Amino acid sequence: MMYYRDQFMPESDVRISPDDRGYYFGDGIYEVFRIYNGQLFEKELHYKRLIRTAEQVRIELPYPIEEINSILEQLVRETNTMLGTLYVQITRGEAPRIHPFPDKSTKPVMMAYCRDADRPLAAMENGITAVTADDIRWLRCDLKTLNLLGNVMLKQSALDKGADEVILHRNGTVTECSASNVMMVKNNKVFTHPADNLILHGVTRAVVLKLAAQTGIEFAERAFQVHDLYNADEVFSTGTTGEVMPIVQVDKRTIGDGVSGPITRKLQMLFTQHIERGSNK
Ligand code: PLP
């Protein structure tokens, strides 16, 4: 079952118009929520980011946020998704292909669906490998828009090199990964790029920093360089699907002892406890 254009319907009945501006221009916005125990995880943070992105790109949300929440919760219930993800996107609507925004009569198009997805427990235990690459994306990486060609190209370039993930940098300054944020640990302190226009302000990033603050793990939202990564004690990424993911090799250099480090493990444990408590309680 999917939600498309004001109604729930079987996925096979969905017909998307080639005039949808999402299709032509990537002119739309989206969110990916985690579903744990049949509940949308950290939904307030996701809605806050959706509203902010919508305002910044001047797309009017098709319904008030409370109504969007009711629709998405109904989708989770009716698809009986206990452990998975929910994808929602809102495009600027359907109109003939010209660059200017369409007139006010064009309604934004919302689409949403759920998928089952396990927690990636084996990778969270063993870690993944990464290569670094020039961050070729635009300068509004803080907006969660459908324009992901840079991210897609960069991710594939890492896979082509036999790595699992790509860590991006601008002139040597590390920003984030292709679909997650990146953090490093040096001398028991966690560092991550500040939440400015060069990174997506990850929900998982925010939760991890909150958990660090609550438990006395030192951290700084301060940019660092690729060579700092090579010399880090631990590196990990944070994201909705990957949670807190150890990165044990960067550009074929082993990070720390080549296994998930103690601070990464501690944050994984705190994150798991946070999931078990239920983020919305
Ligand atoms: N950075 C990028 C480029 C992303 O696409 C994502 C998530 O899709 C993230 C970071 C992590 O954000 P979140 O923790 O909200 O999933």
pLDDT digits (tens, 9 = 90+) for 16-38: 999 999 999 999 999 999 999 99
Q: Tell me what pLDDT residue 234 has.
A: 98
H-helix or E-strand spanning residue 275: helix 262-277
Q: How far apart are CA 144 and CA 184, in angstroms?
A: 24
Q: How far apart are CA 154 and CA 109, in angstroms?
A: 28
Mean pLDDT (whole number) for 130-142: 98
State the sign of the Cα–Cα–Cα–Cα dihedral 270, 205, 227, 246.
positive
| Residue to mutate, 86, 211, 240, ligand 1, most ligand atoms under 8 Å from C-beta | 240
Q: pLDDT band at 208, cuts 50/70/90?
A: very high
Protein residue whose Cα sits closest to atom 10 of ligand 1 = 180
Q: Tell me what pLDDT residue 198 has.
A: 98
Lowest mean pLDDT among 64-73, 189-198, 219-228, 271-280: 271-280
| Residue to mutate, 145, 153, 200, ligand 1, most ligand atoms under 8 Å from C-beta | 200
Mean pLDDT (whole number) for 115-139: 98
Q: How far is CA 232 from CA 52, 168, 220, in A?
A: 34, 16, 14
Tokens of 23: 């299709």
Distance 52 CA to ligand 1 centre (A): 15
Q: Tell me what pLDDT residue 261 has.
A: 97
* Residue 144 falls in the annotated catalytic set: yes
Q: How far apart are CA 71 and CA 219, in angstroms?
A: 37
Ligand 1 pocket member 181 (CB < 6 A): yes
Mean pLDDT (whole number) for 66-77: 98
Q: Spell out a b/e string for 193-229, using b for 16 or more CB atoms within 10 Å of the CB, else e.
A: bebeebbbbbbbbbbbbebbeeeebebeeebbeeebb
User: Among residues of the chain, what percentage have pLDDT more than 70?
Assistant: 99
Amino acid at 180: S
Phi first, then psi: give them for residue 178, nearest 5 degrees.
Answer: -70, -30
Ligand 1 pocket member 168 (CB < 6 A): no
Mean pLDDT (whole number) for 243-266: 97
| Residue to mutate, 47, 180, 211, ligand 1, most ligand atoms under 8 Å from C-beta | 180
Q: How far apart are CA 279 and CA 126, in angstroms?
A: 26
Ligand 1 pocket member 175 (CB < 6 A): no
- Is residue 281 predicted with pLDDT exceeding 70? no
Q: pLDDT band at 280, cuts 50/70/90?
A: low
Tell me the domains of the chain and their CATH numbers.
Answer: 2-116 (3.30.470.10), 121-276 (3.20.10.10)
Tokens of 47: 């809605």
Distance 96 CA to ligand 1 centre (A): 31
Residue 152 near residue 143, CB atoms below 8 Å: no
Q: Which atom of ligand 1 is nearest to the CA of 144?
A: 5
Q: pLDDT band at 65, cuts 50/70/90?
A: very high
Ligand 1 pocket member 202 (CB < 6 A): yes
Q: How far apart are CA 92 and CA 100, in angstroms?
A: 11
HSE, side-chain direction, 13 A CA sphere, residue 152: 4
For every residue of 126-159, DSSP letters joined together read H-EEEEEEE--S-S-TTS-BS--HHHHHHHHHHH
| Mean of pLDDT over the chain | 97
Distance 142 CA to ligand 1 centre (A): 10
Q: Tell me what pLDDT residue 278 has.
A: 87
Closest of 152, 201, 165 to residue 42, by C-alpha: 201
Ligand 1 pocket member 53 (CB < 6 A): no
Closest of 271, 21, 262 to residue 146, by C-alpha: 21
Residue 111 near residue 88, CB atoms below 8 Å: yes
Protein residue whose Cα sits closest to atom 2 of ligand 1 = 179
Active-site annotation holder among 43, 144, 161, 252? 144
